[in-house]
Structure 1
Amino acid sequence: MTVEPEKLDLASHDMAEEKRLELLRLFPEIRTEGGKIDFERLKLALGELVDVGKERYSMNWPGKAECFNTIQAPSMGTLLPCRKESVDFDATENLIIEGDNLEVLKLLQKPYLGKVKMIYIDPPYNTGNDFIYPDNFSETLQTYLQYTGQVDSEGRKFGTNTDADGRFHSKWINMMYSRLYLAKNLLTQDGVIFVSIDDCELNNLVRILDEIFGEDRRLGCITVVSNMKGRSDDKYYATAHNYLLAYGNDCFTTNGVPLPEEYLDEYPEIAEDGRRYRLQGLRKRGAGARRVDRPNMFFPIYVDTNSKKVSLVRGEQFNVEVLPKLSDGEDGRWRWGRDTVSDRLVELCASRVGPDGRWDVFQIDYAENSDGAKRIKPKSVWIGPEFSNEAGNLELKRLLGKTTFDTAKPVGLLTYCIEQALGKDGIVLDFFAGSGTTAHAVLDLNKNDGGSRKFILVQLPEPTDRTDYPTIAEITKERVRRVIKKLEDDGAGKLDLDGTANQDRGFRVLKLAESNFKPWNGNVPHDSQTLEQQLELHIDHIRPDRTADDLLYEILLKSGFSLTTPVEKLTYSDNSVFSVAGGALLICLERTLTIEVIRAMAEAQPERVICLDEGFAGNDQLKANAVQIFKTKGVISFKTV
């Protein structure tokens, strides 16, 4: 630690720098004298794994280079807490963020990197009437601020993307690629993303997701029947469905979905413990069922004819050999290999089949597990009233009356996705939040099974031309408020037998804005008047309308702490100090610091300390003393902002 404290980095996470450092860690030999990457050495290190051909299969479109420049450009924005619009602000871990989702996703990179279990989005489908973010990659935060009327407009507008535009598909791809690229970083190693889409941009979306996640991580392209009647204004076919693309990270495993009640008729047998079951032949049927297809899956299984149990080892009891034979007598194969059979013998039994009463081996398939209802793989077509647009619209109408939404996603669709992706906890992110269906599904599902799942919603304050709900973001927040109120009203006066009384039924509202701290701009003209203004900004660099809460949440965000990290306000030497994460970080936002408050904070022995640079009032001796005091007490990091 030097005699000067470090400056807190107010930029969002630098992904390009992180990837550069990772490459240098894996291949230290590619490092140049200036710390950059020697691409020729990297090619040598990878050898034949590098494709140097000029023609290769890849995805390209006009604006791809600018798109990557945008992805890599850090955000200098912040998220301002809005307690008045929140529900149970201090206790909740749910978030509703109002702002441009590109900027918000950048700001979430530090605190939520690898922490989101599931993402669901229902983005614009690019039908020609959809709201599309501007195809302008410069000053994205400034563009957003102009759009929301926070600064004077310079004539740049957000708007629709029409098919008469020469970059009709490219604009949409630019919008989606950058956001999905950033979103992937937030997923856990076993995380999953679901994206709703129709046929207009389905092919482009598949290629985007294939490139970002990898084609091998495509879990499925699901057909969701959303309108059984079909769209009567379609020219050739009355479209009755949309699509849902699912991609999972390397360690994703599905939880499946509960066995539908209508499937119970397929389980005619009753076990001694009362559970229903059916017998499924262990021999492979259909394509690839011959011995030559998988020779290692042809082996004998031995049967005890008295108990009908089976074994891989012949013995006095297990003396009847069964081989997988096709109906024409040709050698077949089992569905399971020898190791799987060995591990799951208790799931197998033998039974006589056919007119000759020969023995065969079966898997005992229960309709209910010992711990509850059986879960099965979801099908690739989802059909039912719970998935329909009509259900989504009715749910929203019951809560809010008539709104601007004609195709609100139904709670049943989100619930079905969440059941497959999460246990009873984990974070669900929706950065095209719309009417707030995702939060509705999370809250309902927690109520039904006692879970503790959390949600993060991001929604642009897109105007609606209504006085009651002037923006889409207002609809989002009001819907979630009413869902919470309904859950609380339904539970009022009831015994808390299912442990739901202490569930998290709140949300913190935060709004995208320029940083609380005015940045030093080295690119201004070097005339005396302009430089004098810059020096004044350097002295008084905190925006005058910002509160201590605003400063606190930006520091948390830029320091990598989640926006729901526990914060306690303490008093040290008559000064207010915020204790973060049980005292791991102390933040002092006092405009006048003294040696007494420095010593008091140091005595608490936090890992990290952050103070306002303004608090030292140009007193270099006090700042140097603070550095040494914190160093003596074992403080790892002391920064100013």
Structure 2
Amino acid sequence: MNDDINHIPANTPDFQTELAEKLAELAPAAIADGKIDVEKLKELLDGDADESNERFGLFWPGKRRALRAAQQPTTATLKPDMENSKDWDTTKNVFIEGDNLEVLKVLQKHYHGKIKMIYIDPPYNTGKDFVYPDNFKEGLDTYLEWTKQVNDEGKKLSTNSESEGRYHSNWLNMMYPRLKLARNLLTNDGAIFISIDENEYVHLKRICDEIFGERNHAGTILWKKKSNGTSLGVIPTVHDYVLVYARDIVSDPIIGRPATTREVAETYSNPDDDPRGPWTTMDLGANHEGPWFEITNPTTGKVYTPAPGRYWVFNSAEVEKRIADGRIIFGKTGLAGPIQKKFLSERGEVRRAVDSWWDDVEKNSDGQKALAELMGHPKLIDHPKPVGLIRKILLSMLRSQESAIVLDFFAGSSTTAHAVMQLNAEDDGNRRHIQVQLPEPTPDKSESRKAGYATIADLSRERIRRAGEKIRQDFSEQLSQRDTPLDVGFRAYKLSDTNFTKWQVSSDTPANDLEQHLLELRESANDNATPVDLFVELLLKQGYSLTEDIGDASIAGLDLKTVLDADGDVAVLAYLDEYTKPTLDQLREIADSKPVRFVILEDCFQGDDELKTNLVQICKTNGIELWTA
């Protein structure tokens, strides 16, 4: 019977196990007794494995533990925060309050490989910045402890000053696991943009080279953040860096700004009146390994081969076909070497390369001024990035017609959310955003505290609300022409421990304590958890998104939660009342509604194995996936 029941996992994926599984698929000969035989793996790799004890790379105290912090599964969940949400039922945007390390783990199940672009503006580690309080014990425990603002010794948890020791190491230990998890979320043609200054630029680039791969470094942008340098330093700086890494540079991520009409006309023309329209030329060679053969110019008889170290893009049969079709020509005169024709009609949006020096966008002072005007208070947060900077980054990466997801897990005042909404209003786009922000308390005497914002997360959510309304006003005429309304809402969530008591036991609990704990359990769900809290957690752990169409249903006198698919059909049906045992007839009526998946709490059976067995058979007969928690 157990084979017919799917059990919802308590934890997020175990990344160490996943890696071992992938290695087992790639190199089964390296598996012995269910474990990786490292020596055998070295033999299989032959000359590709480095036998030397000397390594090139960046090493610091705590690096191994930082890696384990990324790999450690979590039982954490995200609780819906309806009160702080805007347009909950219709929005596809998300704001999450919580430690971004744990949140990134929670996001892995559904959003793995689904985020097109990530922008982050992490703490620059200047000695005044807050650095997230990882101490390499259970991540969620660390976060819950931190929200009290002091640790077990009564020490305040706040900034990473140079007097603390291991100044750079503390910062790297924070960044390393977060970037490891972030990489998993990117699409193959996605990219991450990271703002930083000279204080940690060198270290950040080294760990990004390690995590994303050196070849995936698309470039580094220098953004002129102010007009005049300060008196600090021998050579005062007026710029910040934006490091850009592709998830997979071979997948040709779209990084570049949209070309103007004039630039398109300068690049594409139709001198031979080709019926396929304007075209430009492109090299027929590639620097990755591929076909190598001779191509003969049919007019001159001259033979051409790829340049040294390069290969042809196409095989010989495809080359002959494209020559016949006029897609490969021999120069515009027909007397040169082979070259491709690329038609404007087949290119979609034409883009230009991004320059590395940006002095044509707003500066830090503009960001500060704009935020003050929007919020009605001066200097609510230090150095907020200007919307113009993020807008240009978005334009350098995302086409307007894409429903791409943009993630910022160091949200700050949510400039990224503001920029996404504004650009969508400008170009009729449908980009979605996910913001993650720690509930970092605002200083006691700060302008933010005076304005009523107890935490940066509070300020961040309010900024999104106000920015959305301002955009609606500023672009009202243009927005009235849209096919779908501009999405300026967001679903708010808060990081919390699991809602299921049985999942709260840590794996290192001694056996005798565990037995006692199990004896004390009366039900599986937390009494304070609402049905929506329970349902959202179960959905997340099954791999559903944070913006599913959640609803209510009543069948045979039982209250259930639902998720509808794009066609309005029931994809998931869940019965979560562990205090009311359903009858067999009621379960039959639920099955008659033909959901794709039915979820029920184990405690709903109240020990009735016969009822469970009957439900298994009912679901099997009706082709319904049965899941329990």
CA gap of 1:224–1:560, structure 2 versus 1, over 3 A, is: same
Which amino acid is 1:552 matched to? F
Question: Structure 1 residues 138 and 523, CA, compared in 2 at 3 Å: closer, same or farther?
Answer: closer
Deviates more, 1:519-528 or 1:552-561: 519-528
Aligned to 2:289: none
| Counterpart residue type for residue 246 of structure 1 | V
Q: 1:98 to 1:338 in 2, by over 3 A?
A: closer
Q: Is 2:400 aligned against 1:411?
A: no
Shift of 1:404: 3.0
Say if 2:378 is the partner of 1:394.
no
**What is the one-letter code of the residue matched to 2:388?**
G
Secondary structure at 1:141 match in 2? helix
Does residue 76 of structure 2 align to residue 98 of structure 1?
Answer: no
Matched with 2:276 is none
1:223 aligned partner:
222
Partner SS for 2:2: coil
Quote the offset at 1:606 in angstroms: 3.3
CA distance 1:348–1:559, shift in 2 (3 Å): same
CA contact (8 A) 1:125 1:197 kept: yes
Shift of 1:427: 0.3
Where does 1:235-274 land on structure 2 (aligned, <5 Å)?
235-250=233-248, 251-259=251-259
Aligned equivalent of 1:553: 536
Distance 2:627 2:280 in 1: 65
Larger mean Cα displacement after TM superposition, 458-467 or 593-602: 593-602
Deviation at residue 608 of structure 1 after TM alignment: 2.7
CA 1:628 to 1:132, structure 2 compared with 1: closer, same or farther past 3 Å?
same
Matches within 5 A, 1:74-153: 74-149=73-148
- What does 1:519-534 correspond to in 2, within 5 Å? 519=503, 521=505, 531-534=515-518
- Alpha-carbon deviation of 1:256? 1.8
SS at match of 1:23: helix
CA contact (8 A) 1:94 1:508 kept: yes
Residues 224 and 387 of structure 1 are in contact (CA less than 8 Å); yes or no, is this contact kept in structure 2?
Answer: no
- 1:487 matched to 2:463: no
Contact kept, 8 Å, 2:219 with 2:244, in 1: the verdict is yes
TM-score of the aligned structures, taking structure 1 as reference length: 0.81
Instruction: Indicate yes or no: 2:479 matched with 1:472.
Output: no
In structure 1, the residue matched to 2:446 is none
| Alignment map for 1:336-347 (pairs within 5 Å) | none
Secondary structure of 2:137's aligned partner: coil
Q: TM-score, normalised by structure 2?
A: 0.83
Q: Which residue of 2 aligns with 1:31?
A: 31
What's the counterpart of residue 286 of structure 1?
none
1:621 aligns with 2:610: yes
The answer as to whether partners of 2:552 and 2:561 remain within 8 angstroms in 1 is yes
Q: Deviations over 1:201-245 (max 9, x none)?
A: 111101111001100000001111111212x13121121001010
Distance 1:549 1:169 in 2: 42
Instruction: Describe the SS at the equivalent of 2:164.
Output: coil
- Within a 5 Å distance, the mapping from 1:156-555 to structure 2 comes to 157-230=156-229, 232-250=230-248, 251-259=251-259, 314=299, 375-384=351-360, 386-401=361-376, 402-423=378-399, 424-465=402-443, 466-467=449-450, 468-492=452-476, 496-499=480-483, 502-518=485-501, 519=503, 521=505, 531-537=515-521, 539-555=522-538
The answer to whether the 8 A contact 1:143-1:156 is kept is no
1:3·1:624 contact (CA, 8 Å) conserved in 2? no
Measured at CA, do residues 524 and 492 of structure 1 come closer, stay the same or move farther in structure 2, by a change above 3 Å? same
Partner letter of residue 196 of structure 2? I
- For residues 542 and 150 of structure 1, what CA distance do their matches in structure 2 show? 28
> How much does 1:150 deviate?
10
Does the CA contact (< 8 Å) of 1:4 and 1:623 recur in 2?
Answer: no
What is the deviation of 1:54? Answer: 1.2
Residue-by-residue CA offset, 1:261-299 (whole Å, 9 max, x unaligned): 9989999x99999xxxxx99999xxxxxxxxxxxx9x99
Q: CA deviation at 1:488?
A: 2.5
Change (3 A) 1:24 1:272: closer
- Say which SS state the counterpart of residue 36 (structure 2) adopts: coil
CA RMSD, aligned part only?
Answer: 3.9
2:97–2:457 Cα contact (<8 Å) kept: yes
CA distance in 2, matches of 1:508, 1:280: 45
In 1, Cα distance between the equivalents of 2:545 and 2:265? 48
Please give the residue correspondences for 1:37-52 in structure 2 after superposition, counting only pairs within 5 Å.
Answer: 37-52=36-51
The alpha-carbon deviation at position 600 of structure 1 amounts to 2.2
- Offset at residue 614 of structure 1 (A): 2.1
- Kindly indicate whether the alpha-carbon contact (under 8 Å) linking 1:118 and 1:428 is maintained by their aligned counterparts in 2: yes
Cα deviation, residue 399, structure 1: 0.8
Q: 1:264 to 1:186 in 2, by over 3 A?
A: closer
Within the alignment, does 1:567 sit opposite 2:556 as a pair? no
Deviations 1:24-78 (A, max 9, x none): 1112222222x22122222222222221211121322110121122111111111
Partner SS for 2:81: strand
Unaligned runs of 5+ in 1: 274-278, 284-295, 301-311, 316-320, 324-331, 351-358
Give 1:102 shift.
0.3
SS class of match (1:584): strand
Partner SS, residue 92 of structure 1: coil
- Cα shift at 1:187: 0.5
Q: Secondary structure of the residue that 2:406 maps to in structure 1?
A: strand
Match of residue 640 from structure 1: 628
CA distance in 2, matches of 1:152, 1:158: 7
CA distance in 2, matches of 1:370, 1:31: 47
Deviation digits for residues 521-569 of structure 1 (CA, Å, limit 9, x no counterpart): 37556779x85554222x2232222111111110111111011122232
How far apart, in 2, do the equivalents of 1:520 and 1:121 lie? 31
Q: Which amino acid aligns with 2:78?
A: L
Structure 2: how far apart are the matches of 1:168 and 1:451?
42
| Aligned residue pairs, count | 584
Code of the aligned partner of 2:144: L
CA distance in 2, matches of 1:388, 1:397: 15
Question: Residues 481 and 271 of structure 1: is their aligned pair in 2 closer, same or farther, counting only changes over 3 Å?
Answer: farther
Q: Cα gap change, 1:165/1:524 in structure 2, threshold over 3 Å: closer, same or farther?
A: closer
Q: Which residue of 2 aligns with 1:603?
A: 592
AA aligned to 2:380 is T
Within 2, Cα distance between the matches of 1:38 and 1:370? 49
Q: Give 1:389's aligned amino acid.
A: N
Task: Please give the secondary structure, in 2, of the residue aligned with 1:180.
Answer: helix
Q: 1:347 to 1:199 in 2, by over 3 A?
A: farther
Q: Which amino acid aligns with 1:428?
A: V
The answer to whether the 8 Å contact 2:75/2:504 transfers is no
Supply the distance in 2 between the matched residues of 1:338 and 1:233 (Cα, whole angstroms).
54
* AA matched with 1:615: C
Offset of 1:314 from its aligned partner? 3.9
**Structure 1 residue 344 displacement after superposition:** 6.7
User: Quick one: distance in 2 between partners of 1:3 and 1:125?
Assistant: 51
In the other structure, the counterpart of 2:288 is none
CA distance in 1, matches of 2:312, 2:36: 47
Q: What amino acid does structure 1 have at the position aligned with 2:374?
A: L
Specify the alignment match of 1:276 in structure 2.
none
1:47-62 equivalences under 5 Å are 47-62=46-61
User: Structure 2 unaligned runs (5+)?
Assistant: 274-278, 284-291, 444-448
Identical residues among aligned pairs (%): 40
Change (3 A) 1:502 1:599: same
Aligned partner of residue 595 in structure 2, secondary structure: coil
Distance between the aligned counterparts of 1:235 and 1:583, measured in 2? Answer: 63
Paired residues of 2:117 and 2:407 also in contact (CA < 8 A): yes
Q: Is the 8 A contact 1:119 1:429 kept in 2?
A: yes
Q: Secondary structure at the match of 1:480?
A: helix
The 1:403/1:599 distance shift into structure 2, 3 A limit, reads farther
Q: Is the 8 A contact 2:97 2:493 kept in 1?
A: yes
Structure 2 CA distance for aligned equivalents of residues 608 and 503 of structure 1: 32
Give the direction of change, closer, same or farther, for the CA distance of 1:165–1:520 in structure 2 (3 Å limit).
closer
Q: What is the CA–CA distance in structure 2 between the aligned matches of 1:547 and 1:136, rounded to whole Å?
A: 32
